[in-house]
Amino acid sequence: MDFPYRYVTDASILFDAVNGGIVHEMFRLPFNFITSDLIAEKELKTPPFSEFEPLGLKKEEMSGPLVGAMVRIRSSHKTLSIYDISAFILARDQKLILLTSDDALRKFAESNETEVHGILWILDALITNNILSKPEVSRALQQILAHNSYLPKKECEDRIARWS
């Protein structure tokens, strides 16, 4: 299904959705989710891309010029994986919003004037779009945190208290 809103997601958002038990609900949002072919084919192993694809996740090929841009960025930003950079480049070049739970990628994207949101934003959207209730989203966030997520502790505590 085509929606007017397209977002580039890295693997961390998908892993958080899996850990929170909200994958199917996330893909019910009125958004088109895309990722790079590198993330789809190399980083998504458990669960594999083939489990996200029927839900609506699309992959886009990183062509020659994009690969060159990835290599240039990687040479000066060693904290970012090539997969992170591929998601950033897709978002930057298509002027889309990047979805990530990775703090280094978030900071890099913001410093390069690319809008970024994380799993907390997705959880808010699940409530706003009446896909899940506040208590359901609170439980999902607690499950995400139980899997060693690096989300901002205070912000998560505030949301859990507000949603419970």
Q: How far apart are CA 159 and CA 103, in angstroms?
A: 19
pLDDT tens, residue by residue, 23-68: 999 999 999 999 999 999 999 999 999 999 999 999 999 988 888 8
Number of domains in the chain: 1
Q: How far apart are CA 29 and CA 137, in angstroms?
A: 14
Q: How far apart are CA 128 and CA 151, in angstroms?
A: 21
Q: How far apart are CA 14 and CA 47, in angstroms?
A: 9
- The percentage of the chain sitting over the pLDDT mark of 70, rounded to a whole number, equals 98
pLDDT tens, residue by residue, 57-89: 999 999 888 888 988 999 999 999 999 999 999
pLDDT tens, residue by residue, 141-157: 999 999 977 899 999 99
Task: Name which of 97, 89, 106 is nearest 8 in CA terms.
Answer: 97
CATH code of the domain containing 72? 3.40.50.1010
Which residues does 58 contact at the CB level (< 8 Å), separation at least 6?
A: 32, 33, 34, 35
Q: How far apart are CA 77 and CA 1, in angstroms?
A: 36
Which residues does 95 contact at the CB level (< 8 Å), separation at least 6?
A: none
Q: How far apart are CA 12 and CA 117, in angstroms?
A: 12
Name the residue range of residue 150's domain. Answer: 5-163
Q: What are phi and psi of 8, to 5 degrees?
A: -95, 125
Q: What is the pTM of this model?
A: 0.94
